Amino acid sequence: MTERVRSLLSRRDLLRVTGAAAGLAAAGSLGLPSAARAGRRAQGEPVAFWNRDDGQVLVEPIVAAWNETHDVQIEATFIPSEQFVQKFAAAVAGGEAPDLIAVDLVYMPAFAAAGQMTDISEQARALPFFGQLSPSHMRLGTYQDKVFSLPFNADGSFLLYNKNLFRQAGLDPEAPPTTWVAIQEAAQKITAAGGGASGFYFSGSCPGCNAFTLLPYVWASGGDVLTEDGTQATLTDPSVKAMLEFVRGLWDGGQVPQAAQVDTGEDFFNAFTSGTVGMAGTGAFSIAELKGEYPDIDFGVTPLPGREGGQSSFAGGDTIAIPAGSERVEDAFAFMAWYLSDEVQIEQLAKNNGLPLRTDLIENKYSAEDPRYIVAGRAMSEGRTPYTEKYNQLFNDSGSPWLAMLQRAIFDGEVDEAIAEAQQSFTDILAG
């Protein structure tokens, strides 16, 4: 996998949003003082653009391309991912926030609700491609019918499968499973074929990984874990119990390697690259890495299915926004609009194994060369992302009720008890 692709679709960013709850909460009560606004960067100075360091290889050439062709310059600053939200909160409090930020889309509902982002509704809705922007990014970037952010990079989860192992198990490598029963049957046959192979894999101690790859099974079956506005828990939805029993069955039946139980995400993708895993949930980053570094693995990608069909995906990635108080809104938005243009989306993202952020550009001259990118792009465009101001507490922290529910239900077999406990914990967090 090239460094450009690795940075563009960072597994760590997509699956494990790091320790920001405290910083975000602190920032939520702080507005940008009017006195500080007067001292913000004036016209003629570079537009300050803050990013996490994981995105450096994506951002640097894009900023360079902009700076070569525009009088207004962009100055990118890269901050360690685990420090980004805290540093941004401190900058807001001190009146030193940048003019642009790119941050994981799960944070945007909280930022918008805290009044920390500039309302760009008028400019955004005037874009000729506004209706084609990644739906999940736009949903999380909209608060009280006002638009506060646009998509910056994206991924969508899907089912990755090893065609070599399918053949060895007597399965048709061109007919991947489209129901849970089909996944179970394929996993059983792959495991039974021997050679040390396991039919299925998931990282049992990684909360973010399992939001990315297990939540879509619930959505594809018509259920959810939160209400549409993210204010109430719905873990008692029958599709949640069905998903837990489905994964429990794979574990209890020996189709998942024992090491998966303690995997915190380090082997989320590595397990598949060993060539001994038949199926695993993953994202678009895997396509380029497998093609480039593991050419002996013949692999396919297919949507994550619902219980009896259908499909869904977790739409992950970053969003780009203008912090409140910036005096460079016009210049900052010009960069955002340029970045989302046909030329940049195709020649900067699609050309370099990334997913365009517009549904009308998923099928392009580069994805035509490898239709697996079309599957990934459609997964992103049709995917969902939980809308909540408390994503970390609910899903992503190591002690989150989401992970606790999965582990108790899947590994201990206490499905009903796990759901009841998680429903109460979700309710308490949402009410706090």
Assigned domain for 132 exists: yes
Q: What tokens does 349 get?
A: 């993202």
Residue 25 lies in a domain: yes
Token pair, residue 418, equals 């796990």
User: Which residue type, as a one-letter code, is found at position 325?
Assistant: G
Q: Which residues of the chain have pLDDT under 50?
A: 1-40
Q: Are 148 and 178 within one domain?
A: no
Domain identity same for 95 and 209: no
pLDDT of residue 19: 32
The total number of structural domains in the chain stands at: 2
User: Three-class SS of residue 104?
Assistant: strand
What is the tens place of the pLDDT at every residue in 239-252?
Answer: 999 999 999 999 99
Decide: 118 and 31 in contact? Cβ < 8 Å.
no
Expressed as residue numbers, the domain containing 163 is 158-312+399-431
- pLDDT tens track for 189-216: 999 999 999 999 999 999 999 999 999 9
On whether residue 177 sits in a domain, the answer given is yes
- Shared domain for 60 and 32, answered yes or no, is yes
242 in the same domain as 104: no
Please check whether residue 405 lies inside any domain of the structure.
yes
Q: Is residue 392 part of a domain?
A: no
Q: Are residues 106 and 197 in the same domain?
A: no
Q: What does the pLDDT read at residue 285?
A: 87
Beta pairing partners, 159: 281, 302
Residues 390 and 406: their CA atoms lie apart, in Å, by 19
Same domain, residue pair 172 and 300: yes
Asked whether residue 280 falls in the same domain as residue 413, the answer is yes
* 418, 393 Cβ separation under 8 angstroms: no
Residue 391 lies in a domain: no
Would you call 69 exposed, middle or buried from its count of C-beta atoms within 10 A (0-12, 13-18, 19+)? exposed
The CATH number of residue 52's host domain is 3.40.190.10
The pLDDT value recorded for residue 57 is: 85
For residue 272, being part of any structural domain is answered with yes
My answer on whether 164 and 17 are in the same domain is no
52 phi and psi angles, rounded to 5 deg: -75, 150
Q: Are residues 284 and 344 in the same domain?
A: no
Whole-prediction pTM: 0.88
Q: Is residue 360 part of a domain?
A: yes
Digit-coded pLDDT (tens) for 18-30:
233 333 333 333 3
If asked whether residues 213 and 338 sit together in one domain, one would say no
Amino acid letter for position 398: S
